[in-house]
Chains A and B, each alone.
Chain A
């Protein structure tokens, strides 16, 4: 399978990464090189094989449903590029 420039633009948008026209053709070549590298997997017989869920035979651990942390709003906001009081600030979303 290979992709064309319109698919590259769609993937870039789904990835939320802006790309300019020059980049699209370069990325197109690189992505196709990787897709042709992984093409070999289509020749493996995976009939009846379960997709791996975990490399270790372990049960997902659970903990009691109680509050164990919190009250650290200043810590959480400490690295925010824009904030106001205890809120993250983003460009206007709803008109």
Chain B
């Protein structure tokens, strides 16, 4: 059965269409792999009956010859997407047994195209974290291990840690994810997978539990660049229910995979050579530059002068928006309720018990920076600096640069408990290379480029012009071709 789970999404699609395999056997192979991998804690909720039912419907459509673009392909869904009739937790206790009576637009688009959902994937609580250690359902363990201490439990990154680990461990062909400051690209880089955050507005946010609405975007995590292109085409599109979703046609991104990148201008930002960057990461980045140069791209040094302010700006804007979005969890309409002596006491006790410590901290920071007397000094100033960060990118693209190449993360994955326990800021630094992209609303893709000396994967990031995801797919596939092939870990957990 295991060879079925080792197909890429594209290979499985072609095998289904040529009737070499059935959706039912493909789904069963994945359900079997999931059952053996529960120690990794990738799924919060498995939905085997639903998946097999959907597989039977797919097999019927494949036989009838009216299959959708993703017909019969089993995927995992980050448990931040509301799914009709299936419990949705956001990895928080505060949602209790919340079972949506509606389906998010993106997961509905995937279903419409024939994809099969295997279950709901673990994440950091409300997508707030970079290691999947803040989940109320326990941390996810990466399938990857360090050479030096193979018993150490490596984190899969976050917040989409269930998505990245499940894809790397072959527990689904692809997964949905979301990215507010790096939550698709950082976990992809940590697990040797591909993750794209499209341009803000490319995917509908409707039905996805909101964290920071001006930054949140949906996107896929997959094992190949082609698979990411296939997934994004089905996920993207205009939705009248999200006023920030953009009414522009969705390209057939798969056609961009493998296109020549000859003559493309790639910017290498000097400000990303941050203090304390390890020699290994610097050399890895240089290697990425060399791969694109060999593929015919032109390399130019660029300057993004406000880079150093992106992370501090993020840690004002994202908590501010989160404090507003998470005000809805009041113990009245859904989720957990703790009894109190009056309604205010009920709110306070419910929210104290329901939210984990990282979420409570961010709500409080957000409340503070929006409160009377501090609003201008913190929030408005941060929104101004955000304008400057965006203008940095605008000038670079106006000068003819097609895409920007950076490392995806400042290090490889670490082990559980190694970061952020004494100082929350240490964990925040994981997003130093990814957060600028959300600030400016741009598309960004993380693509694996090989492994570090410790045995863990490293990822490169490409940042593109608004709505030019196609160029990112072409460039990422050029890196994929040139880089050493990722050998995913053998299933030590099974």
Q: Which residues of B contact A80 (CB under 8 A)?
A: 332-334
* Chain A contacts with B in 32-55, Cβ cutoff 8 A: 33-34, 37-42, 44, 46, 49-52, 54-55
Q: Are A41 and B441 CB-contacts (below 8 A) given A18-B351, A55-B200, A60-B243?
A: no
Let me know if B194 is at the binding interface, CB within 8 A. no
Let me know if B398 is at the binding interface, CB within 8 A. no
Let me know if A67 is at the binding interface, CB within 8 A. no
Let me know if A16 is at the binding interface, CB within 8 A. yes
Query: Which of B132-140, B277-285, B364-372 contacts the other chain?
Result: B364-372
Contact across chains for A19 and B367 when beta carbons are under 8 A apart: no
Contact across chains for B466 and A56 when beta carbons are under 8 A apart: yes
Q: Which residues of B contact A39 (CB under 8 A)?
A: 312
Let me know if A66 is at the binding interface, CB within 8 A. no
Contact with B along A67-95 (1 / 0, CB 8 A): 00000100110111110000010111100
Contact with A along B363-393 (1 / 0, CB 8 A): 1110110010000011011111111101000
Contact across chains for B367 and A79 when beta carbons are under 8 A apart: no
Contact across chains for A30 and B383 when beta carbons are under 8 A apart: no
Cα of A61 to Cα of B240 in the assembled complex, Å: 9
Q: How far is the CB of A88 from chain B (nearest CB, A)?
A: 5
Q: Which residues of B contact A18 (CB under 8 A)?
A: 345, 348-349, 351-352
Contact across chains for B425 and A88 when beta carbons are under 8 A apart: no
Contact across chains for A50 and B387 when beta carbons are under 8 A apart: yes
Q: Identify which of A38, A49, A55 contacts B388 (C-beta below 8 A).
A: A49
Contact across chains for A17 and B316 when beta carbons are under 8 A apart: no
Q: Which residues of A contact B240 (CB under 8 A)?
A: 63
Most chain B CB within a 10 A radius of its CB, from A16, A51, A79: A16
Let me know if B406 is at the binding interface, CB within 8 A. no
Q: Are A14 and B367 CB-contacts (below 8 A) given A33-B424, A46-B384?
A: yes
Contact across chains for B384 and A15 when beta carbons are under 8 A apart: no
Q: Which residues of B contact A27 (CB under 8 A)?
A: 361, 364
Residue of A nearest to B201 (CB): A56
Residue of A nearest to B358 (CB): A30
Q: How far is the CB of A22 from chain B (nearest CB, A)?
A: 12
Cα of A55 to Cα of B465 in the assembled complex, Å: 12
Contact across chains for A17 and B364 when beta carbons are under 8 A apart: yes
Q: How far is the CB of B403 from chain A (nearest CB, A)?
A: 18
Contact across chains for A91 and B340 when beta carbons are under 8 A apart: yes
Q: How far is the CB of B153 from chain A (nearest CB, A)?
A: 25
Contact across chains for B388 and A46 when beta carbons are under 8 A apart: yes
Contact across chains for A37 and B340 when beta carbons are under 8 A apart: no
Contact with A along B235-267 (1 / 0, CB 8 A): 000001001101000000000000000000000
Contact across chains for B387 and A49 when beta carbons are under 8 A apart: yes
Contact across chains for A46 and B312 when beta carbons are under 8 A apart: no
Q: Are A34 and B308 CB-contacts (below 8 A) given A55-B441, A79-B333?
A: no
Residue of A nearest to B316 (CB): A38
Residue of B nearest to A88 (CB): B332
Q: How far is the CB of B143 from chain A (nearest CB, A)?
A: 32
Contact across chains for A37 and B101 when beta carbons are under 8 A apart: no
Contact across chains for A91 and B425 when beta carbons are under 8 A apart: no
Q: Are A44 and B306 CB-contacts (below 8 A) given A18-B348, A18-B349, A56-B466?
A: yes
Q: Which residues of A contact B424 (CB under 8 A)?
A: 30, 33-34
* Chain B contacts with A in 84-113, Cβ cutoff 8 A: 96-99, 101-102
Q: Are A14 and B371 CB-contacts (below 8 A) given A52-B390, A55-B440, A90-B346?
A: yes
Most chain B CB within a 10 A radius of its CB, from A11, A54, A55, A90: A55
Contact across chains for A51 and B384 when beta carbons are under 8 A apart: yes
Most chain B CB within a 10 A radius of its CB, from A31, A38, A72: A38
Cα of A41 to Cα of B343 in the assembled complex, Å: 38
Contact across chains for B312 and A40 when beta carbons are under 8 A apart: yes
Cα of A78 to Cα of B311 in the assembled complex, Å: 40
Cα of A54 to Cα of B441 in the assembled complex, Å: 9
Contact with B along A1-36 (1 / 0, CB 8 A): 101000110011111111100000001001101100
Q: How far is the CB of B271 from chain A (nearest CB, A)?
A: 14
Cα of A56 to Cα of B365 in the assembled complex, Å: 27
Contact across chains for B333 and A88 when beta carbons are under 8 A apart: yes
Q: Are A81 and B334 CB-contacts (below 8 A) given A46-B381, A56-B200?
A: yes
Q: Which residues of A contact B178 (CB under 8 A)?
A: none
Most chain A CB within a 10 A radius of its CB, from B309, B364, B367: B364
Q: Identify which of A52, A79, A92 contacts B334 (C-beta below 8 A).
A: A79
Contact across chains for A31 and B313 when beta carbons are under 8 A apart: no
Q: Which residues of B contact A82 (CB under 8 A)?
A: 337
Contact across chains for B346 and A91 when beta carbons are under 8 A apart: yes
Contact across chains for A15 and B308 when beta carbons are under 8 A apart: no
Q: How far is the CB of A64 from chain B (nearest CB, A)?
A: 11
Cα of A72 to Cα of B102 in the assembled complex, Å: 11
Cα of A7 to Cα of B332 in the assembled complex, Å: 28
Q: Which residues of A contact B466 (CB under 8 A)?
A: 56
Taking A15-B363, A30-B424, A37-B315 as given, write out 6 further A-B residue pairs in contact, using a Cβ cutoff of 8 Å, ordered by the A residue number.
A3-B368, A11-B364, A16-B348, A46-B388, A60-B243, A79-B99
- Listed from nearest, the 9 A-B pairs whose CB atoms lie closest are A55-B441, A51-B383, A79-B334, A81-B337, A18-B352, A18-B348, A75-B101, A46-B384, A38-B312
11 intermolecular pairs with C-beta atoms under 8 Å apart: A1-B377, A31-B361, A33-B424, A38-B313, A41-B316, A58-B244, A58-B246, A79-B98, A79-B334, A80-B333, A90-B332
